Amino acid sequence: MRYVVIMAGGSGTRLWPLSRKGTPKQLLKLIDGTSLLRLAFERAARVVPAERVIVVTGAAYLDDVRADLPEVAEQNLLGEPEGRDSLNAVAWPAAVLSHRDPDAVVAHLTADQLIDPVETFVESLEEAFAVAEADPGALVTLGVVPTSAHTGYGYLHRGAPVPGFPTACAVQEFKEKPDAATAADYLASGQYWWNAGMFVWRARTFLEQLAALEPATHAAVLDLAERPEALGEIFPALRKTSVDFAIMEPVSQGRAPGHVLAVALPVRWRDVGGFASLAEVLDGDADGNVIEGLAVLNDAHGNLVISTDPDHLVGLSGVSGMVVVHTADATLVTTLADAEGIKALVGQVAEAVGARYV
């Protein structure tokens, strides 16, 4: 049977003070009061029944996930005691689902992006499931059809088409984030897709690759699937690495049995990893101000204002291109251009006034 695993881990420094260690960005109700996690769940629930949607997140976020996704059964919530990178966020649920259903075919999906149209996403995901079901040796990755020469994503170099499917093809090579000239070449060639970090495969197939490439992790997650009570003992010992580095790249290079295929995801794919991208996906007013919450602006243009306290007023006067974010215990003032500065600021906050604010 088909399953969807939504990966919703990580803390989001770049959206501080909205996102904290206690509130990863996927849980923030950023999009008209809806979280990215909820949007990802609703996309998944168009392809599989809700009872076959699994969420893997940080243990600390489980209560928030339960509140946001009441449809997800308790046994389908996997809480990582600590972040151990993407390989483990993939391998643990793969082992759990394989233990429950040896024939499980699993899509591992991210929740970081705003995706539209959803209908197109659903078609791509169904094609990827069909490819994985038809080809027992395939690791299928979703490749976003690029709309710009983006330097913030890794790329997939497409190979030969897979007969019988509208978009499926081989993957010749995974490419790291390119420089601007290389990204422009990739875009012009039409031979590259963005690596979306979303995968579809038979759980059994993935676990075979894992056994070959990361035998210790393989043994550990199988153990964990049988003894969930040993989570606190097993999980922290897992090797911290990414699924691309540990599995996808070696398999694509022939360093392990099996093969990597890709299916096209021709959607509008917008990262909301920082305030500038958040401002782009939200609707602005006539002055180009994006306002979420109680705010009054005078002679102000192109600002992003977010206030999470409905009784707290934020007033701006005579400013442009600013980011103002007010939460119960912290307020950020920066510019839309200074996305990188927030990370340094949060580091200073942790050092100067302590961990409670980060």
* Residue ranges binding its own copies (CB under 8 A): 16-17, 294, 296-299, 307, 311-319, 322, 324, 326, 328-335, 337-338, 341-342, 344-346, 348-349, 352-353, 357
For residue 244 the two structure tokens come to 């691309």
Shortest spacing between CB 278 and its own copies, in angstroms: 16
The one-character DSSP state at 307 is E
DSSP E strands, 19-168: 53-58, 77-80, 105-110, 113-116, 138-144, 155-161
Look up residue 281 and give its amino acid.
V
104 within 8 A of 1, measured Cβ to Cβ: yes
At residue 91, φ and ψ (nearest 5 deg) are -70, -40
Residue nearer to its own copies on the CB measure, 1 or 333: 333
- In terms of Cα–Cα distance, which of 32, 71, 47 is closest to 121? 47
Among residues 79 and 321, whose Cβ is nearest to its own copies?
321
Backbone angles phi, psi at 57, to 5 degrees: -150, 180
Which residue, 50 or 345, has its beta carbon nearer to its own copies?
345
Residue found by looking up tokens 């409905």 in the block = 310
Shortest CB 251 distance to its own copies, Å: 41
Least separation in angstroms between residue 30's CB and its own copies is: 19
Enumerate residues 6+ apart whose C-beta is below 8 A from 256: 209, 212, 213, 247, 250
Angle CA(147)–CA(32)–CA(10) in degrees, nearest 5?
70
Q: Which is nearer to its own copies, 49 or 347 (CB)?
A: 347
CB of 85 to its own copies, least distance (A): 27
State the minimum distance, in angstroms, from the CB of residue 11 to its own copies. Answer: 16
**Cα–Cα distance between 302 and 319 in angstroms, integer?**
9
Question: CB of 297: closest distance to its own copies in angstroms?
Answer: 8
Identify the residue whose tokens are 């497409």: 158
Distance CA 97, CA 151 (A): 35
Closest contact distance (angstroms) between CB of 356 and its own copies is 9
Q: Which is nearer to its own copies, 282 or 319 (CB)?
A: 319
Give the nearest distance from C-beta 311 to its own copies in angstroms: 6
CB-count burial class (<10 Å; 0-12, 13-18, 19+) for 342: buried
Sign, CA torsion 256/258/259/265: negative
Which residue lies nearer to its own copies by CB, 9 or 17? 17
Rounded Cα distance between 270 and 251, Å, is 28
Instruction: Give least dist CB 15 to its own copies, A.
Output: 13
Question: Kind of pairing, strands 322-326 and 304-307?
Answer: parallel
Nearer to its own copies by Cβ, of 119 and 351: the residue is 351
Strands (DSSP E) found in 209-301: 259-265, 268-271, 290-292, 295-298
Q: Among residues 28 and 220, whose Cβ is nearest to its own copies?
A: 28
Name which of 25 and 326 has its Cβ closer to its own copies: 326
